[in-house]
Homo-oligomer: A and B are copies of this chain.
Amino acid sequence: MNKKGLLLVLSGPSGCGKGTVLKELLATEENIFLSVSATTRSPRPGEENGTHYFFLSKEEFEGEIARDGMLEHACYCGNYYGTPKKPVFERCEKGQHVILEIEVQGAKQVINSQPEAVSIFIMPPSLAELERRLVDRQTEDEETVRRRLATAVEEMKQAKDYDYIVVNNTVAEAVKDIAAIIRAEQNRTCRMAEMIQDN
């Protein structure tokens, strides 16, 4: 029995604690890998090709789009960002689970084009708590916090399009929720077809 790995889509508003949850999940669970995005922006000091991003030229990126090589992509501030299909699908074929940590617009593209993808939206416990977390960072001024909160409210409206919602009350519980989702999804009848045929 050589089972395909899961394609997981993970989104959540800025300040929901997504990054911490993901880091803990990757540290505690086996066989889960974070997808590496591609971008046309220049590498920053310390960023390595294939680790932090796949750094592509504009021509290369547009070539990938043209030959349907991107799972999702978008353009921000004049640069392309996206998820190349090949490394993701190769891992899944090997039975490894791949997580795409992407924003809601990119997630929508993947959810629509890959019906077998498992999508998870991470929620802050409440908007009040989200504001507290954004303020606590102390890296942003009041105006930025307000803008991020408004964006978060908009993004949270997209949560209904995801398969699962995980509320990040505590990192440990949120990680357990995602680990349970990954375990449960492997037992979905649609993924157990070979069991039905074999018997």
List the interface of chain A (C-beta within 8 A of B). Answer: 120-121, 123, 126-127, 153, 156-157, 159-160, 162-167, 176-177, 179-181, 183-185, 187-189, 192, 195-196, 198-199
Q: Which residue of B lies closest to A192 (CB)?
A: B165
Interface contacts beyond A120-B187, A159-B192, A164-B188: sample of 20 additional A-B pairs, CB < 8 Å, sorted by A: A121-B189, A123-B195, A123-B199, A126-B198, A126-B199, A157-B196, A159-B199, A160-B196, A164-B187, A164-B189, A164-B192, A165-B189, A166-B187, A167-B195, A180-B181, A180-B187, A181-B184, A181-B187, A183-B184, A184-B184
Residue from the list B153, B162, B195 in contact with A189, Cβ < 8 A: B162
Contact: B164 with A199, CB < 8 Å?
Answer: no
Contact: B183 with A185, CB < 8 Å?
Answer: no
Residue from the list B153, B176, B192, B195 in contact with A199, Cβ < 8 A: B153
- For this complex, 26 residue pairs linking A to B, each with C-beta atoms less than 8 Å apart, are A121-B189, A126-B198, A153-B199, A156-B196, A156-B199, A159-B192, A159-B195, A159-B196, A159-B199, A160-B189, A160-B196, A162-B189, A165-B187, A165-B192, A165-B195, A167-B192, A167-B195, A176-B183, A177-B184, A179-B180, A180-B181, A181-B184, A181-B187, A183-B184, A184-B184, A184-B185
